[in-house]
Amino acid sequence: MTEPAYPRLGPDELEDQARRFAQDAVAAYKREKARARELEEALDTLQTAYLETIRSLAFVVEAKDAYTGQHLERCRVYGVALMRALGIHDDYPDAQYGFLLHDSGKVGVPERILGKPGPLTAAEWRVMRTHPLIGYQMVASIPFLKNAGEIVRSHHEMFDGSGYPAGLKREEIPLPARVFSVVDAFDAMTTDRPYRAALPLEHAAAELTKMAGTQFDPDVVAAFVPLCEQLRIEPTG
C-alpha cells in the first residue's frame, strides 16, 4: 500500500499557516469575549426585570395588607445583608425574591379576615394559616424561584417546631427562611404599629436574643445583632 501524497510545506508556508492560525484564534477569542459581555449585560437586564416584576407582585399583596408599609423592601435589604454576613448569599441567589414574596399567599385570604380589627376566631386563623402554602403553590412552580418558594412556604415555621404549616424544627427549616424570620420580626418590632410605638433598636435586638433557640435560629440571631445597628432604614410607613 502506498502512502497518500501529502503536499510538503516549506518553512515560509509553515510560518504563514501558523500566523493565520494564530490570527484566527485571536479573532475567535475576541468574538467569544464580546459575546460573554453581551450575555452578562443581558443577564443583568433580566435580573433587574425579575426583581421589578416580583416587587410589583409583592406590592400588590402589600397594598391589600394594610399595616405593612415599606416592610417588604426593608425585609429584603436586611435579609440580603444578613445572608452576606452568614456567607450564604451566593448559595441562594433567589432568596431576595422569597423575602419580597413571603406573604404573596395572602391574596387567597379574604379581606374581612386580613383586615379584621379584633382578634381572629379559631376558624379565621385556620384560613389565615393557609397563606404560606397558597404562596408556595404560586411561586415554586417558577424554576428560578425554587429557594424563594421554600422561604414562602416556611416563613412561619419556628426553630423549636411550634410554627406552621409543617411544624418543621431546627435545620429542617430552610436556612433562608430562618434568616427571614429574624429580619421580619426585627422590622415588625422597630416599626410603629396602630397598637404600639416602634421599639428602640437595642430593645428589639434584646428580644431577638431572648427568643434565640425557641422562635429563631441562635446562629442567625448572633450574626444579625451586630449588623442591625448599621442596617437600620428609617421606616416610612
Q: Give the total of residues touching Fe ion (CB under 5 A).
A: 1
For position 62 contacting Fe ion by CB under 5 A, the verdict is no
Q: Please choose, out of 22-30, 101-109, 120-128, 228-236, the segment that lies near Fe ion by the rule CB under 5 A.
A: 101-109
Specify the stretch interacting with Fe ion by CB under 5 A; choose among 5-13, 23-31, 100-108, 178-186: 100-108
Q: Smaller CB distance to Fe ion: residue 95 or 225?
A: 95
Burial letters 129-161, b for 16+ CB under 10 A, else e: eebbbbbbebbbeeeebebbbbbbbbbbbbbee
Q: Which three cell numbers, joined as nine digits, stand for 62?
A: 402589600
Alpha-carbon Rg for the chain, nearest whole angstrom, is 27
Question: Which residues, 6 or more positions from 146, have their beta carbon under 8 angstroms from its beta carbon?
Answer: 94, 140
Point out which span in 26-34, 99-107, 109-117, 121-129 binds Fe ion (CB under 5 A).
99-107
Q: Which one of 62, 65, 94, 103 is in contact with Fe ion (CB under 5 A)?
A: 103
DSSP class of residue 233 equals -
Smallest distance from the beta carbon of 34 to Fe ion, in angstroms?
A: 46
Q: Does 187 bind Fe ion (CB under 5 A)?
A: no
Cα 202–Cα 86–Cα 150 angle in degrees, nearest 5: 100
* Identity of the residue, 94 or 103, whose beta carbon is nearer to Fe ion in the bound complex: 103
Calpha distance 170→151 (Å, rounded): 14
Q: Is-contact 164 129, C-beta < 8 A?
A: yes
Asked if 157 is part of the footprint of Fe ion (rule: CB under 5 A), the reply reads no
For cell 443583568, what's the residue?
A: 44
**Which residue number places its CB atom closest to Fe ion?**
103
- Shortest Å distance, C-beta 195 to Fe ion: 18
For residues 68 and 190, which CB has a smaller minimum distance to Fe ion in the complex? 68
Query: Which region, judged by CB under 5 A, interacts with Fe ion, from 25-33, 34-42, 96-104, 175-183?
Result: 96-104
Select the span of 2-10, 87-95, 103-111, 171-179 touching Fe ion (CB under 5 A).
Answer: 103-111
CA gap 165, 18 in Å, rounded:
67
**CA distance readout (Å), 21 to 42, 57, 115:** 31, 53, 72
Is the CB of 68 or the CB of 147 nearer to Fe ion? 68
With 0-12 CB in 10 A as exposed, 13-18 as middle and 19+ as buried, what is 48? Answer: exposed
The answer to whether residue 65 forms part of the interface with Fe ion (CB under 5 A) is: no
Nearer to Fe ion among residue 103 and residue 187 (C-beta): 103
H helix and E strand count, the chain: 10, 0
Work out how close the CB of 156 gets to Fe ion at its nearest, in angstroms, rounded to a whole number.
Answer: 6
- Contact set with Fe ion (CB under 5 A): 103
